Amino acid sequence: MQKDNEAVNEAVNEAVNEAVNEAFNETVNEAVNEAVWEVIVIGAGIAGLTASIYLARAGLNVLLLEKSHPGGRAASTEMEGASVNLGAHALNRSVLPILREVGITPAGAPPKLPNALVFKEADGGHRALPLGQLLLGSFLKWHEKLELIRFYSRFRRADLASLHTVSLQDYLAGQLASPRVRSIVLALVRLSTYSDAPELLSAAAALGQLKQDKVLYLDGGWQSLVNGLAEQARQAGVTIRTGSPVREITGSAPVMTVTLKDGTPFTARRVLSTAGPLETLALLNPALSREEAAVYQQLVPVRAACLDLVVSGMPFPKVNFVLGAEEPLYYANHSAAASLSRNPAHQVIHVMKYLPAAGDTDPKQDEAELKGFLELIQPGWSRQVIRQRFLPRMLVSHSLVTASAGGLAGRPGPAVPGRPGLYAAGDWVGAEGMLANAALASAKEAAGSIIAGIEQLEGRNTRGA
């Protein structure tokens, strides 16, 4: 009888606790839904998280809506105890000042220089050439060595202001006579820009990337960066709501409405979208005019085919970093620089093919190319694989920096034209940087514009909040 009473009491307590928790959650959700938010940020990638921190620290109440989980393309996947990025990720050190401003000091290490460049042979084969042999060996002729040295001496002093509207292909054609030397430079440009479109890429943007400081491979993968930003956002007072895909944005400042796909509405004074350009356009009701939308629609996405591996070692452990010269291929052992696995015997390998801007390659052929490249530089690699993943068309960036659009200055600014109170941030926004650099710089710029607008129009000193 006593046991029966205990069971009844336990069941009653569980039912009461469930009812209390359900009522509490409903109350919290109602409060979140009914609040008038000063800023709603759409998307909890690194741009959305960074912007929300700046906004909340300025004293604004901020709601961050994320359709799945924080991180977006910066999130890492747990694979066999290892943190594996969605394709190869490297953090340029030029973004560290912004990260430090929002309380993040990434842990990681720079990779070493590539072990080799792989060139095509006349008979259709391939030759992996150690970098040291480019200047010391006989592969390059003497005049080619001089051309390569002179190019690197000149480009660091080049006037980038005159090259924004010049394509990289045209620029190199006027600078380098040797096809082999051009292929070496293009391999390094692909590495720094993650793109294979020299006919479109702005020479100023490409050379600017080559001038950047070294990159870092992050301990724990980029998930460690995402987790740090999310924690800083919560500490700043940002309300983060996951599993909240947005259907539309209506209105303009100071009364705007963000409606989720399930019909839930949220009211805001201003809205910041960190979704992609086409995704942002699709949310707007009413739509932008044809002229206003054109700058978003002309952006060219950058994609890569990625083979991500967790391995128990590689046949040639000293070969950690190899680039294709004439072919847009990349191999790197990220575990050689960063701590990525709980098992010290496991390593994370990334192999990539930088896809052309047209993006019309065959995924099966791309995967075969990546595995063939691996077999060339790590024969017998497949016996070491613990787990692998192929991403056929991984989105690297929403926008290639094109010469035809005017280089970096041709990208959209953070304020969306024709829609007062609506802003955008991401790797496709603003006139500063590329890739993650652009995402973080535009996040800071957009947050600053929102804060300044509130101060000016509402007479509120947010910076003193």
Residues 290 and 412 placed together within one structural domain of the fold:
yes
Q: Say what the pLDDT of residue 464 is.
A: 43
Q: Domain for residue 11, yes or no? A: no
Q: Say if 98 falls within a structural domain.
A: no
| Same domain flag for 67 and 204 | no
Note whether 294 and 415 are same-domain residues. yes
My answer on whether 202 and 280 are in the same domain is: no
> Is residue 22 domain-resident?
no
Dihedral of alpha carbons 349, 90, 201, 148, sign: negative
Q: Which residues pair with 349 in a beta bridge?
A: 309, 333
pLDDT at residue 80 above 50?
yes
Q: Does 273 score more than 60 pLDDT?
A: yes
- Do 229 and 374 lie in one domain? The reply is no
Together in a domain, 246 and 286: yes
pLDDT recorded at residue 137: 86
Supply the mean pLDDT for the chain.
91
Do 414 and 369 belong to one domain?
no
Residue 360 DSSP code: -
For the chain, the straight-line distance linking the first and the last C-alpha, in angstroms and rounded, comes to: 62
43: alpha, beta or left, given left = phi > 0 and alpha = psi -120 to 50? left
Mean pLDDT of 233-255: 97
Q: Assess whether 321 and 381 both reside in one domain.
A: yes
pLDDT digits (tens, 9 = 90+) for 300-322: 999 999 999 999 999 999 999 99
What percentage of the chain has pLDDT greater than the value 90?
A: 82
On the question of pLDDT at 280 being above 70, the answer is yes
CATH number at residue 265: 3.50.50.60
Domain count across the chain: 3
Answer yes or no: is 28 within a domain.
no
Do 413 and 294 share a structural domain? yes
pLDDT of 15 reads 52
Longest Cα–Cα distance in the chain: 98
Instruction: Give exposure, 170-189, as e/b (b: 16+ Cβ within 10 Å).
Output: ebbeebbebebbbbbbbbbb
DSSP string, 24-48: HHHHHHHHHHHSEEEEEEE--SHHH
**Chain segment 385-431, per-residue pLDDT in tens:** 999 999 999 999 999 999 999 999 999 999 999 999 999 999 999 99
Rounded CA separation 216/90 (Å): 6
Question: Do 361 and 391 belong to one domain?
Answer: yes
In this predicted structure, which of 10-24, 43-57, 66-80, 403-417 has the lowest mean pLDDT? 10-24
Interval 105-163: pLDDT, tens: 999 999 988 999 999 888 888 989 988 888 888 899 999 999 999 998 888 888 889 99
With 0-12 CB in 10 A as exposed, 13-18 as middle and 19+ as buried, what is 18? exposed
C-alpha–C-alpha distance, residues 396 and 298, integer Å: 17
Q: Which of 210, 243, 265 lies at the terminal end of a domain, its last residue?
A: 210
Cα-to-chain-centroid distance, residue 458: 35
Q: For residues 427 and 400, what is the distance between their CA atoms, to the nearest angstrom?
A: 9
Read off the pLDDT band of 323 (50, 70, 90): very high
Tracing tokens 């592969």 back to the chain, one arrives at: 139
What's residue 10's pLDDT?
56
Select from 184, 210, 236 the last residue of a domain: 210
| Residue 28 reports pLDDT greater than 60 | no
Q: Please report whether residue 130 resides in a domain.
A: no
- Domain check: are 285 and 155 in the same one? no
- Amino acid 8: pLDDT: 43
pLDDT confidence of residue 397: 97
In a domain, 14, yes or no: no
Domain that residue 185 falls in:
141-210
Judge whether residue 230 has pLDDT over 50.
yes
* Residue 97 is assigned to a structural domain of this protein: no
How far is CA 103 from each of CA 156, 160, 260, 290, 338, rounded to the nearest angstrom? 32, 32, 31, 41, 21
Is 228 within the bounds of a domain?
Answer: yes
**Same domain, yes or no, for 290 and 317?**
no
Least confident residue range of 27-36, 72-81, 326-335 = 27-36
pLDDT tens for each residue of 429-448: 999 999 999 999 999 999 99
Identity of the residue numbered 214? K
